[in-house]
Structure 1
Amino acid sequence: MSRNLYEPRSLLSLPDDIFSVITNFLSPKDVCRLGLGCPLLNSVLSSDKVWIVQCNKLGLIPFTALVEWRNGVCSYKSLCKFLVNIRPLIGIWVHQNPELGNVVYVMPGFLSVVGCRIIPQVADGPILWTPVFEILCDHVGSTSFFLHGRERGDDCIYPGLLKSVERKCNVLSLEASCEMTEMPFSRLESDDRARLLDVVTREIGNILPEASNVVFFPRSSSDFEVLHERRLSLLRMYDKRGGLSLRGVNMELDRYLAWPRMDKSQSSLYKLTIEKSTREYGGLWGGTFGWPPSAEKPGGALFLILISYEESKQLMIGTKILEGNSYVCYPNGSAMFIVNADQSSEGIFPFHEGSDPIEVKESFSGEGIANGYGMRLPNWESGSLFVLENGLLVFLWEESREVLTLKRLDLGELLTRGERVNSLSPVSNFAYLTKTYTNVYSGF
């Protein structure tokens, strides 16, 4: 066999489509290394056909949207650079305060990612949300960070740096840039950190132009033109010397069941772990008390419940991360129920649909939270979790006969069709550090 078949130039003779299939088995980092190590291949490895495959493999946005995103950057390689940098941020982030729930969902916007706070609310109507921060992709795939907030009746943005994001980051912190302090920001006293952030945001805030303050996500193809203009307008306003920075790090966190223990003096958000798809019921669920849902109490409080599994046992834990009451009933991070996935319930589902019984796929026995002191010292009441054939989950408290009805949620879809409300002042809009049991977002 000819030695030429083993030389790098032999790969150049392959059709572009075949070459793209081969590089599909490589990571973005491996493709870059191969190009640096073999100059003959570098031009081919820099082609859009190779990098569109890498962008699609990341799975952050639909393939059909990649083409529209490509129109705003110089190459798919630049786009992939941006997607790799922001990938660890995608997901659900929380803070302990306020106790009703502080949920920030980070999702793709348009050539951007947007941190969206879910507002405690009733279950009826569109989801209410407000922007917390935004990270835009510029022409070469670099990041431009903006904090969102509201001052003197105006929506404002505050430019800064995406300082560093570790691949498995679980703590996201808002800081003042190191150049402004004699010691690392995280080592300052909590009062000094708060004062410094307030000073910096007062100096760098810009009123968000009305044209850039309407659409954040593409709801249809007709939105792309507006979003292109919005992005260019914000990039023209960007100044990386603003003084703010966003840092994502991986830290060893103690947990109470599925809830991380937090440093409540730091302006930080904490990432929640979403179960892998092999865990059938793991993930985010939403619903209300009552059966049928919302029938007993129209306008009932929306509950967001994160179901996770304890690793050492087959325990399913339903953790409350948001409730829509005006005053907290269950502190943030409370386990609303804990059931044994290996132990079937002997209870009978007590409800019917007209004269017909409701089909139950399976059921599990366990306990639900009852009266007690917070999430650390709750009382527990026996109960059952029913999985219905229509996909709903229903937890029934055995003695009180309370019913929590849940359905699986797609937050990205809900936010795209949701209703935006006003933000808090910029620093509090990122992380609300004051302990409170009421809805601090309802008046804004």
Structure 2
Amino acid sequence: MSPDLCGSSLLLALPDDIFSVITRSLSPRDVCSLGLSCSDLHTVVASDKVWLAQCDKLGLVPFTTLIEWRKGVSSYKVLCRFLVNIHPLIGIWVHQNPELGNVVYVMPGFLSVVGCRIIPQEVGPLGLEDDPILWTPVFEILCNYEGSTAFFLHGRERGADCVCPGLLKSVDRNCNVLLLEVEPRHQRNGGKLAYSKSFAHEVDKEESRTLSRSDSGVSKSQRIAGQKGTAMLFNRLGFGDRRRLLDVVTSQVRLNVPETANVLLFPHLRNDEVDLQRDVALLYERRLLLLQMYKRGSGNQDLKYGLSELPLNPTELGSSEVCRSLDCTSGYHGLQAGDGPQVHCSKSKTFSGFLKNGLKQIMGKSSSTNGNRECDKKTTSSCESKHIQLHEFLQSGDTIGLSLRAATMKLSSYRAWPNMHDSRFALYKLPIWAPKEGHEYAGLWGGTFGWPPGRPSEDKPGKALFFILISYEESQGQQLLIATKILEGTSYVLHPNGSAMFIVDIDQPSMDTFPWDTDEESNHIDVQKSFMGEGIANGYGFRYPGSKPGSLFVIQNGMLVFIWKESRAVLTLRRLNLTELLRKGERVPSLSPVSNFAYLTKTYSNVFSGFSNSLNTLSSPRQNHL
């Protein structure tokens, strides 16, 4: 082989289309590393064809959507960086409260990702496929022209829709918790906080090296404070202080959304290409308007920019002004005047300790200074209190602002439902099982009680919608299929959020016969499989439901039907595509911004019942049967 066709020369001799196919098998990080090997490869790797292939490989949006999104960013490389960063956010996020269900589905929007809450609701007379599903926006993350992100928390105040701008912090690759927080910004030593950034999601190593070099003038302690201290500080505030701080920040950075920016968050599901292009044009205008609002702001200015030397930023508030508004100024100014909170550590007065102190004094070393340093390093309860004070938190930065952080935490779970913290403003990600051999029915399902499925009766024009997450678990040698309830469209819940609606043994066929011969369209029913199991029933109070025997039937059109043997109650389920349902759904008003993200008040009724008249009179279809 000619030496001219060896090494990088061989790759450079390939046509662009072939080169993009080869690099498609690489990760974005590997593509960047390849570009660093020589200047000629750097030029080839920077081509749009290479990064379009990387974007398409992620599979977040269709290929035609990538072509459309390219018009709003500087390059496919920038778009790929955004997609890689937000990829871990895509999926279903939940919270325990309200017990009827708090389901937020994060999906691609338009050069953005949107968190949409599914409202507990009824299925109308047209059925789940044709009746619009009710939803409300929770948050939104936009991609600007250069690929950086703009975070907006959605809500409604004083009868008007609003957004609260903030920062998207680090997104862990395997994140399972979304945390709404307030963070200090701009350290008082004159430098900015070095924000925590997960370089595992950076697709451009050159930029990460530039960032590292730019931080070379920042001390190690400052970098650690930026990476770890901020989030830990907010979590260490008492629940009441965290709530007050979030309420103050959201009320002050809040921006009223103009009507032109409040029509669409993503394109409707349309068959007409002309209507689809009209939606795209509106979304381009909306995105530009929101990015301008994010940069310049147009909301309340009461507590903003209290320090004249700080740059104008609509996402930030002056810490001292916030402290005065919350009536914690005495502690705040006291900390500013001194060196920080005093920490006392007891030292045992032994003879050996006396000798050591004497030797240190002879050598010119102060034992008290070293003792204080030792105390600063300790994190035990003897050197710090359980909760920090609000003024301590506020004095750690010149300004504060809203932030969204996607973190990875050790969480226990029971039957695929995570055990959640009651006092955190957080959403928790549900692990969605992908269907495979032996787990054919894994994933998200939706349906109603009654047969034929979804057909209303004269006394009940609609039926309560249930979302069911099916997972698998092996227990005592049995392969169990577990159907966990994550949403219930009734007005008052009977069983806790995350309860198992039914559990069946997939290795034990049922001997029961299906009680109907035809479906809602008078088509003959062919039962493909059936399994024995148990369905939820009234037990020992709300928290401890019981169970009664039943059978799960799989019929020919992909529908699952669980029938309680004693009561003959019927739950019919179909596999759901939430993206399609939301794109043809109907948006309803939100709650106030903080409650709209995490509704922490314990409640068993439908807090969204005001958005649908039918929900006010709906009773549980299981109450008289189970």
TM range (shorter): over 0.9
Q: 1:374 to 1:96 in 2, by over 3 A?
A: farther
More deviation in 212-221 or 162-171?
Answer: 212-221
Check the 8 A contact 1:333/1:375 in 2, yes or no: no
* Amino acid in structure 1 at the alignment position of 2:424: Q
In structure 2, the residue matched to 1:303 is 466
RMSD across aligned positions (CA): 1.7
Contact 1:334/1:375, CA 8 A, preserved across alignment:
no
What is aligned with 1:96?
96
Tell me how far apart the structure 2 counterparts of residues 357 and 402 of structure 1 sit (CA, whole Å). Answer: 21
Query: Where in structure 2 are there 5+ consecutive unaligned residues?
Result: 125-130, 187-229, 269-275, 296-312, 317-400, 612-626
- Cα distance, 1:222 vs. partner? 2.3
Aligned-residue offset at 1:229: 0.6
Instruction: Find the counterpart in structure 2 of residue 395 from structure 1.
Output: 562
Q: Given residue 479 of structure 2, which amino acid in structure 1 is its aligned partner?
A: Q
Name the counterpart of 1:232. Answer: 288
- What letter matches 1:273 in structure 2? P
Whether 1:223 and 2:279 are equivalent positions in the alignment is yes
Structure 1 residue 345, shift from structure 2 partner: 1.0
Aligned position for 2:141: 135
Shift of 1:326: 0.6
Alignment partner of 2:263: what SS?
coil
Q: What CA distance in whole angstroms lies between the structure 2 residues aligned with 1:25 and 1:142?
A: 26
Deviation of 1:123 (Å): 1.2
Partner of 1:208: 257
TM-score normalised by length of structure 2: 0.69
Code of the aligned partner of 1:328:
V
Partner residue of 1:250 out of 399, 403, 408: 408
Q: For the residues of structure 1 that align with 2:413 and 2:123, how far apart are their CA atoms?
A: 29
Query: Amino acid of the residue matched to residue 199 of structure 1?
Result: V
Give the superposition deviation at 1:6. 2.2
Q: Structure 2 counterpart of 1:401, which letter?
A: R
Asked whether the 8 Å contact 2:447–2:573 carries over to 1, the reply is: yes
Cα displacement (A) at 1:2: 2.4
Q: CA deviation at 1:10?
A: 2.7
Q: Counterpart of 1:310 in structure 2: which amino acid? A: E
Counterpart position of 2:499: 334
Residues 139-176 of structure 1 show CA distances to partners (whole Å, capped at 9, x for unaligned) of 01111100000011110000000011100100001000
Q: Distance in 1 between matches of 2:576 and 2:434?
A: 16
Where does residue 193 of structure 1 map in the other structure?
Answer: 242
- The gaps in structure 1 that reach 5 residues or longer are none
For the 8 Å contact 1:334–1:374, the answer to whether it is kept is no
Once the two structures are TM-superposed, the CA of residue 188 in structure 1 deviates from its matched residue by: 1.0
Determine the structure 1 residue equivalent to 2:76.
76
Aligned residues of 2:183 and 2:231 also touching (Cα < 8 A): no
Question: Which residue among 445, 457, 462 is the counterpart of 1:285?
Answer: 445
Check conservation: 1:9, 1:40, Cα contact below 8 A: no
1:113-128 residue pairs with structure 2 within 5 A?
Answer: 113-124=113-124, 125-128=131-134
Greater strand share, 1 or 2? Answer: 1
Contact 1:92 1:272 in 2 (8 A): yes
How many angstroms does 1:5 deviate by? 2.4
Q: 2:7 maps to what in 1? A: 7
**Shift in Å, 1:357:** 5.0
Deviation at 1:291, TM superposition (A): 0.5
Q: Does 1:264 align with 2:431?
A: no
Report SS of the residue matched to 1:37.
coil
Tell me the CA shift for residue 87 of structure 1: 0.4
User: In structure 1, what is the equivalent of residue 488 of structure 2?
Assistant: 323
- Where is the helix percentage greater, Structure 1 or Structure 2? 2
Q: Distance in 2 between matches of 1:179 and 1:13?
A: 50
CA positional deviation for 1:233: 0.4
State the distance in 2 between where 1:387 and 1:167 align: 36
Give TM-score, length-normalised by structure 1: 0.97
Shift of 1:110: 0.4
1:344 aligns with 2:502: no
Aligned: 1:365 with 2:532: yes
Give yes or no for the alignment of 1:274 onto 2:425.
no
Query: For 2:538, what is the secondary structure of its paired residue?
Result: strand
